[in-house]
Structure 1
Amino acid sequence: MNARPKRIAILGGTFDPIHEGHMALGQRFAHVLALDELVLMPAGQPWQKSGVSSPAHRLAMTRLAATELARRLAATTNENATPDAPVTHVSVGTDEVERKGNTYTVETLQAWRPMVGADASLSLVIGADQLVGLDRWHDWLHLFDYAHICVEARPGFDLTNVSPAVAAALAQRRCDAEAIRRRPCGGIFIDQTLDLPISATEIRDLAHRGLAYGAKACEHVPDTVWHYVRDHHLYED
């Protein structure tokens, strides 16, 4: 009997800082897609953003979060995935922080496809706010040549908010989690389980005020990440 193709998902973001919303997102898709590997990938210099913390700091925080996420996944029982669901390996991708200049997701996925193999299920995990503006991403339709797009939307998210171009892609490509697990690329899966009202901007503000008052923890970020923020005096200005 041939081994089934691997299931890999990439959860990218500025991660400035990586927070409990990202952790919940990773846990949810590790379970529902029965992932073999979840890759946390901090952006290098996102072309749509400016003024972010250095890649070195964001990469270090991502590595701390990956260790904690792996621990949580190993400790939980998978209630939603298929019976052959593995314990998901959590890794950190350095592709984008090592790339010079602006980074584009389509180029990252294009590089990953030959690495994982033609038959592997490769998914990109995003939030609903990113889905709404997906057609503004660089070369966005070619994302589907290399991966699935898996979206976490709040319960009751209104899909009429998306642009006509994205709506057309949804009509053609929307599928369930089982199809994502079985196919290499090309689908869109929308999960409406989590409600994640956590903002990195608010966390940076909390960090600034928390550091000023010597707070030893922040409920919105893993403890190890908060300690890193404190030790390196991030977000103090």
Structure 2
Amino acid sequence: MNVDEFVKVTEALTKLLGVSIWPVVLVVVLVKFSPALKEFFYGLGEFSFKGGGFEATAKRKQAEASAALVAASVARPDAETTPESAARNAREAAAVVADAVNARVIRRASAATVLWVDDRPENNIFERQSLEALGISFVLATSTEEALKLLSKQQFDVIISDMGRPPDSRAGYTLLDRLRSSGNQTPFVIYAGSNAPEHKAEARSHGAIGSTNRATELFEYVLAALNGRR
């Protein structure tokens, strides 16, 4: 992709979605995986965001959430990532937002506060942005003790936690178990490195609503919890 083509694609995309700021990482990924992702972005012209009667603000929120979730889904390519799989992940992320986000969801999200517990919060920037675009506020904690202190002073609509935080390799469950034993039933999601069925089952046995390593599934878990679906 040459410079002129790059400019045309990014300009067309921002005009299409009605947003002026696109996550920088998505531009980087677009360059890295240009052939397949360029096809995806051009294909967005045929993509129908549900709820065509939305006011402009709601459409913008939906578009911004889609941009950030696409970025989160493709920002960490591994050795097995191909341009085709990156484009497929991007399509899936955009479709998840289109299916999940409507005016009622945005109204509920705008009043929600989520506690995110992770000793490396910089790893989750785009996941947070995808939900912040809908109006969700975040409070960050980097340890179990800090999270418990915050929870003693404030109620949250959802809690997201990673699993291992040194020196506790099961810190996510440590926090979850302490909350459930105290009677705190705040919806809890584990966002960690595994998406294995046995780990999902274990998380539910501890009282979590789910466990995942996929940004799109995390997005769905949070919105489902806010809307009373678990």
Bin of the TM-score, shorter chain as denominator length: 0.3 to 0.5
More strand per residue: 1
More helix per residue: 2
- Tell me the TM-score normalised to structure 1 length: 0.34
- Tell me the TM-score normalised to structure 2 length: 0.35
Structure showing greater relative contact order (alpha-carbon pairs closer than 8 Å, 6 or more residues apart):
1
